[in-house]
Amino acid sequence: MNTTYDLPRTRATPGELAAALRDSYATTLRLVGGFSGVQWIGPYLPIVNPPLWETGHVAWFLERWVLRRSGAPSMLARADALYDSGRIAHVARWFLPLPSPEDTLAYLARVTNAVLQQLDSGRLSETGELYYVELSLYHQDMHNEAFRYMRQTWGYEDPLGHGIRTAAIQGDAMPSGDAEVVAGEVELGSRRDAGFVFDNEKWAHAVAVPAFAIARRAVSNRDFLAFVEDAGYRRRELWDDPGWHWREDHGRRGPRYWRRDGSWQQQVFGRWQALELDLPVMHVSAYEAEAYCRWAGRRLPAEAEWQRAAATAPDTASCRPYPWGETSPDASRANLDAPSPVPTGACAAGDSAWGCRQMVGNVWEWTATAFHPFPGFAADPYEDYSRPWFGTHRVLRGASFATKPRLARLGYRNFYTPDRCDVFCGFRTCAP
């Protein structure tokens, strides 16, 4: 049975997509190029994928949606049986008869070059064709970010980073206090003229938001350390039942990559170094964020509140593409595709109209909102992107230092289960 999809219309040209795909491919090669031997599989962990499988999956996805929509065979024997994430349970990915690293990289190269040749020659030029290229490009960008947090999880060096940057904030004043946001409406979701969007963003609809106060900056290591040192991980009254059970199951006494060895330290891609107090707290689950909020007499923002503070201005409910307006991101406005996080006071030029800083870039931010579809939702052709995860995941907004600028739109909704603390996630708070 044929299905008619309500697809967004891409704004990108074939040349722009070819350049972006070359960039994403080069990033993938840098992120997996240093693996050797057992590192290609790594120790089993239920929150990450084996790098060898993930590399092949990136190639398979690009081939499946760009080159094989008409049913053509794969360039790699048994590719569907090896790399279809919708059919292969996560645990099974560690035990599949995967091709060697050399053959896997050769498969990725063949697929990428075939797509680039079609883009460069003009054979992929129709709006519908370009949609699938853009979908596959962003899919690869997401996996590249996953390769980076996988390296952090396993304590591998990050070939794109240099540890934590300790440079000064370049004269930016550290924001403090709350932004007072008056009651009004905000558009949640993306408009039909926005270009490429994912299905969970469809479509824009107005939401009334009561007045609220939201922190001008994300919670820093300094802030979170006060919670830790006030026995925040040992005080049952600060945790809800799922959070307390999670904390007990993991034996957690502080953030995942912190330790006290005379002074406080944090582990960054396998190396222990002094805890940088002005950086945003990172690698904390939604449970930890909510426990901190109870300790501080605060709360997490709802998704609509986050969007209103990030995307609107006091005199209008319409949403900007970025907190600062229409201009594309640069290093003065947002810390994206970067070696490491920066202090919570950096990037002052990127403040929202309400005075909130770093609402795009540096760390993904947990919200209090469960991941559900917007009214009128219908899945796009890649039906497993959103629909299987409704109701079990939590919405995060913004972007991290490892996110490509082309993905850092204010309409983009990230989503993880509330126990996840391996991703580059932090949070900001609201007054109760």
Burial class (CB in 10 A: 0-12, 13-18, 19+), 374: middle
Residue appearing with tokens 């690869």: 140
* 16: DSSP letter: H
Q: Is the pLDDT of residue 162 over 70?
A: no
Give the pLDDT confidence score for residue 265 in this predicted structure.
97
The pLDDT > 70 percentage for the chain reads: 97
| DSSP secondary structure code for residue 88 in this structure | S
- In the chain, the amino acid numbered 381 is P
Total Cβ atoms within 10 A of residue 79: 21
The pLDDT assigned to 354 comes to 97
Domains and CATH numbers, the chain: 14-154 (1.20.120.450), 163-432 (3.90.1580.10)
Give the Cα separation of 411 and 408 in Å (integer).
Answer: 9
Greatest Cα pair distance, the chain, in angstroms, is: 65
How far apart (Å, rounded) are the C-alpha atoms in residues 99 and 40?
11
**Lowest-confidence region among 4-8, 118-122, 169-173, 189-193:** 169-173
CA proximity to 336, closest of 359, 303, 353:
359
Q: How far apart are CA 61 and CA 10, in angstroms?
A: 19
- Amino acid letter for position 106: A
What local confidence, expressed as pLDDT, does residue 4 receive? Answer: 80
d(CA 352, CA 46): 37
Model confidence at 291: pLDDT above 70:
yes
Residue 318 pLDDT: 82
**11-25, 122-136, 152-166: which has the minimum mean pLDDT?**
152-166
Q: Which amino acid is at 306?
A: W
Whether this prediction's pTM lies above 0.85 is answered by: yes
Q: Is the pLDDT of residue 256 over 70?
A: yes
Q: Please, how many CA atoms are within 13 Å of residue 77, restricted to the half-sphere of its CB?
A: 3
- Dihedral of the CA atoms 205, 430, 345, 143 (nearest 10)? -50
Residue of 163 and 88 predicted with greater confidence: 88
CA 267 vs CA 173, 275, 431: distances in Å: 27, 9, 31
Task: Confirm if 422 and 153 have CB atoms less than 8 A apart.
Answer: yes
Annotate 118-154 with b (16+ C-beta within 10 A) or e (fewer).
bbeeeebeeeebbbbbbbbbbbbbbbbbbbbbbbbbb
What's the whole-number mean pLDDT along residues 361-389?
96
- Report how far residue 385's alpha carbon sits from residue 240's, in angstroms, rounded to the nearest whole number: 29
Distance between CA 341 and CA 347 in Å, rounded?
11
pLDDT at 164 over 70: no
| Contact yes or no for 53/96 (Cβ under 8 A) | yes
Crossing angle of the two packed helices 14-32 and 101-121, in degrees rounded to 10: 170
> Is the separation of the CB atoms in 176 and 64 below 8 Å?
no
pLDDT greater than 60 at residue 169: no
Q: What is the 3-state secondary structure (H, E, C) of 21-64?
A: HHHHHHHHHHHHCCCCHHHHCCCCCCCCCCHHHHHHHHHHHHHH
Answer whether residue 96 shows pLDDT above 80.
Answer: yes
Confidence of residue 396 (pLDDT cuts 50, 70, 90): very high
Chain mean position to CA 396: 8
- Mean pLDDT, residues 74-81 taken together: 96
> How many distinct helices (H) and strands (E) make up the chain?
9, 11
Query: 325 CB contacts (<8 Å, ≥6 apart)?
Result: none
Tell whether the model's pLDDT for residue 166 goes beyond 80.
Answer: no
Most confident of 68-72, 174-178, 199-203, 312-316: 199-203
